[in-house]
Amino acid sequence: MIIKQTSVFVENKPGRLSDVVKTVSDAGCNILALTIADTADFGVMRFITDDTDKADAALRKGGFASSKTNVLSVKIPDRVGGLSEALQLLSRSGIDVEYMYVFVAKAESTAQVVMRVADVNKAQTILYDAGYDN
């Protein structure tokens, strides 16, 4: 399934991550998945919420630089080789994965994988045609 991801540029200093999360929480949005990439001076916080538009509006109102991006969310079997098989399908089709992050749904035997790819529609079709679920 193609979903919206929020990205926020965060200064790498004490309290800024907390400020972002509080802003999203105060807007009534639940963060479902999150990843952070950082450098010495700043970080990029990427996350999925239950209401991307509301979270993005709250962040902008709070003075944070944020953006929304289409990403692909797909369930992949939570077993040895599960992720490798899905990535090989994309690779053979010329789909480059720019980044991804995973969260495991322990109530199920799947891992939910969020990936940023150049062509989300094509990647979605390839994976769904191969039997992957959202």
Q: What is the pLDDT of residues 14-62, one digit of tens each?
A: 888 889 999 999 999 999 889 988 887 888 999 999 999 999 999 999 9
Q: How far from 25 is each of 14, 19, 30, 46, CA to CA, in Å?
A: 19, 10, 6, 15
What's the CATH fold of domain 2-67?
A: VC0802-like (3.30.2130)
Confidence check: pLDDT of 79 > 80? yes
pLDDT per position as a tens digit, 96-134: 999 998 876 666 666 677 777 888 899 889 988 999 887
Query: What band does 1 get if pLDDT is binned at 50, 70 and 90?
Result: confident
Structure confidence at residue 106 (pLDDT): 60
| Whole-angstrom distance, CA of residue 100 vs CA of residue 118 | 12
Locate tokens 């045609």: which residue? 129
The architecture in CATH of the region 71-129 reads 2-Layer Sandwich (3.30)
| CATH 3.30.2130.10-classified regions of the chain | 2-67, 71-129
Structure confidence at residue 3 (pLDDT): 92
pTM beyond 0.85: no
Q: Are 52 and 68 in contact (CB under 8 A)?
A: yes
| Whole-angstrom distance, CA of residue 45 vs CA of residue 57 | 16
